[in-house]
Each structure stands twice: as structure tokens, then as C-alpha cells.
């Protein structure tokens, strides 16, 4: 399978786990995305949640996670790459799909109101603006909602 970029918006489903690799550190966590709709026949509200496995190798992101800035339940957007892992166990072929963050172009953007405690908001290694840079707090009172 060819690797492709993926962007997911949802909630961190588990506390991230830091692990050591031969090239440094990594992090794993689960991630939940939800879809909501109203059933046309019954009018009942429905919801479907998909669970994803996230693996992070990008040093800036791992450091941000290790510093405690990513917590279970936070609402974030993740930019990464799909990776299919295949293996065989007890004669049965298996595969799983992960979202991997291992490039300077990959990142985690915090969409919650509360910001992380350090300046590495997204952990990206490029000069990208974060979602709230340039926001004028004085204009906040003029927003009608």
C-alpha cells in the first residue's frame, strides 16, 4: 500500500506511552474520531466512533508529548501518514493500519481552549503558524456568539 497523508480531528483516547527506539524515543496513543448524524427514517440521533492507533517518532512531537502536553480527552487535529503493518502469528496473517508522525511536516494541533504548558504547541519543526497566532484578544468581545 502506498503511503498517504491523513488529517484526523478528534480526541486523544489514551494517555500517551513513551518508548525507546534504536534512534531515540517514540510515543503511542489511541485516538477517537466520531461521526454524528440524524437517522432520516426515525429522526433518532446516531453516532459512530472509529478508533485509530497513533505512533509518533518526530523528535519535537515526542518531546512535547513527554513533557506532558498531550493528555487523554484533549481535542486535537493530527497530521500524519498511513502505514500498514503486516505480520503472521500462529499461522494467521494479520495487518493493522496506523497513523505515523515521523516528519517535520507532521504535527498535532491543539483545538481545545486550554493550550499546552510550553511553547511547542504543535511540536512541528517547520516555521508554521499555530492556530491562534495573530488572534487579537481585544476583538473577542465583539464576536456575537
110-126, pLDDT tens digit by residue? 997 655 555 444 454 43
Band the pLDDT of 31: cuts 50, 70, 90.
very high
Is the pLDDT assigned to residue 54 strictly greater than 70?
yes
DSSP 59-111: HHHHHHHHTT---TT-EEEEEEEEEEEEEEETTEEEEEEEEEE-STT-EEEE-
Q: Do the domain assignments include residue 37? A: yes
Look at residues 73, 3, 69 and name the one whose alpha carbon lies nearest to residue 31.
Answer: 73
Q: Do the domain assignments include residue 101? A: yes
Q: DSSP 3-state assignment of 49? A: strand
Q: Do the domain assignments include residue 126? A: no
Residue 78 structural domain? 5-116
**CATH number of the domain enclosing 64:** 2.40.50.140
Q: How far apart are CA 17 and CA 22, in angstroms?
A: 17
Q: Do the domain assignments include residue 41? A: yes
Q: How far apart are CA 134 and CA 124, in angstroms?
A: 18
Q: Do the domain assignments include residue 123? A: no
Which grid coordinates belong to 55?
A: 505512533
More confident residue, 108 or 112: 108
Q: How many domains, the chain?
A: 1
Query: pLDDT for 42-53, tens place per residue?
Result: 999 999 999 999
Q: Do the domain assignments include residue 38? A: yes
Sign of CA dihedral 36, 105, 72, 131: negative
DSSP structure class, residue 14: S
Q: Do the domain assignments include residue 124? A: no
Q: Do the domain assignments include residue 82? A: yes
Amino acid at each position: 500500500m502506498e503511503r498517504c497523508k491523513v488529517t484526523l480531528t478528534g480526541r486523544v483516547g489514551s494517555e500517551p506511552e513513551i518508548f525507546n527506539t534504536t534512534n531515540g524515543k517514540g510515543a503511542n496513543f489511541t485516538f477517537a474520531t466520531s461521526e454524528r448524524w440524524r437517522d432520516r427514517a426515525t429522526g433518532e440521533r446516531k453516532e459512530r466512533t472509529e478508533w485509530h492507533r497513533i505512533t509518533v517518532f518526530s523528535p519535537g512531537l515526542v518531546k512535547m508529548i513527554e513533557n506532558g502536553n498531550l493528555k487523554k480527552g484533549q481535542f486535537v487535529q493530527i497530521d500524519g501518514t498511513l502505514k500498514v503493518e503486516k505480520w503472521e502469528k500462529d499461522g494467521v496473517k494479520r495487518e493493522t493500519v496506523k497513523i505515523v508522525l515521523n516528519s517535520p511536516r507532521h504535527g498535532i494541533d491543539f483545538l481545545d481552549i486550554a493550550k499546552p504548558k510550553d511553547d511547542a504547541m504543535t511540536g512541528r519543526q517547520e516555521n508554521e503558524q499555530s492556530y491562534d497566532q495573530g488572534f487579537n484578544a481585544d476583538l473577542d468581545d465583539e464576536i456575537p456568539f
